[in-house]
Amino acid sequence: MRTPQQPMGTGFSAASTTADVIDGIELGGKTAVVTGGDSGLGIETARTLASAGATVVVPALDRAAAAAALRDVDGVEIDEMNLLEPTSIAGFASRFLARGRPLDILVNSAGIMGAPLGRDARGFESHFAVNFLGHFELTSRLWPALAAAGGARVVSVSSWGHRYSTVHFDDLNYRHRRYEPLAAYGQSKTADALFAVALDHRGQGDGVRAFTLHPGSAMTPLAKYATEQELQAVGVLDTEGRPVIDPSRDLKSVPQAAATHVWCATSPQLAGMGGVFCMNCDIAPLISLEIQAQFTGPAVRPKIATPLGVMPYAVDPQMADRLWSVTERLLGLTFL
């Protein structure tokens, strides 16, 4: 039975922090992998999981830079991986599996946003390649360790930005349509959400449950392609260039924005559940089709910036299955 896409009433809120959701949770003896764990919300996620006793493995583009960023965090191991390179993903997974450890938590948090048009060596558009395809391949290669955990969770970080685009199966890589950075980002975030739906359905037999989420807007290196003026225009920075913190409007501190990562990865409130889109440390409401129709892409800016929930197309099981099949074909692999 599918978990209903409707809020549970968890007692948490948009203002809840990683410290709030990890309180009372013991992760001693558990192992987690956090991509993007050397930057932004990933650092906070890695630090929080480690603080509860987990061994946290962070695969990073630059091992030395990651070591410097995580130097004050105990219980973290650093390895190398580039989500744009299949051989690098395979190498990291092979090294992890060789140690024979079960993998209890996989947080697919690394990503890019608003980048100029770029492609990997295979021709895949960069947002789709980094945010979705690389994590799909990583999860598939780590599956033996996830299945061995006897109750693992896979958390794929999506975004309210999924409203900017559904998945365009007829032109995934912008070969025939005009490139728009936010639309490309939106397509990749919708794909991340659909991945959780399909993975949860397929992984339950191995005891693996999957979740996806919108973390909230926080000032992190993810915004590196935006100018200060652009960030001020959308209200993320004030006139002095300082981050605006107002959880009621989805403008969060880093510990508040990373809280839903940690909640999805560890909360006993989600026991026996999966395949749902979460926000503010709860399951998100499903947006009505009438409201969905108001969002036709980044050219139409919604008047309400605060997230409303999840678009129906981002949690549609049929679309999730279609994306799964297309992705296996694109990557030349069979996953579950």
Annotated catalytic residues are 185
Which whole-number Å values give the CA distances from 141 to 160, 184, 208, 215, in the listed order? 28, 26, 14, 26
E strands, the chain, are 31-35, 55-60, 76-80, 105-108, 153-157, 209-214, 276-279, 282-283
Helix (H, G, I), strand (E, B) or coil at 46: helix
Q: Which pairing describes strands 282-283 and 276-279: parallel, antiparallel, or unpaired? A: antiparallel
Residue 22 CB contacts under 8 Å (≥ 6 apart), including other chains? 48, 49, 51, 52, 262, 266
Strands of the 282-283 sheet, one edge to the other: 76-80, 55-60, 31-35, 105-108, 153-157, 209-214, 276-279, 282-283
Q: What is the DSSP string of 267-336?
A: -GGGTT--SEEEETTEEPPBPPHHHHTT--STTS--S--S---B-GGGG-HHHHHHHHHHHHHHHT----
Dmax of the chain from CA atoms? 53
For helices 134-141 and 86-98, the axis angle rounded to 10 degrees is 30
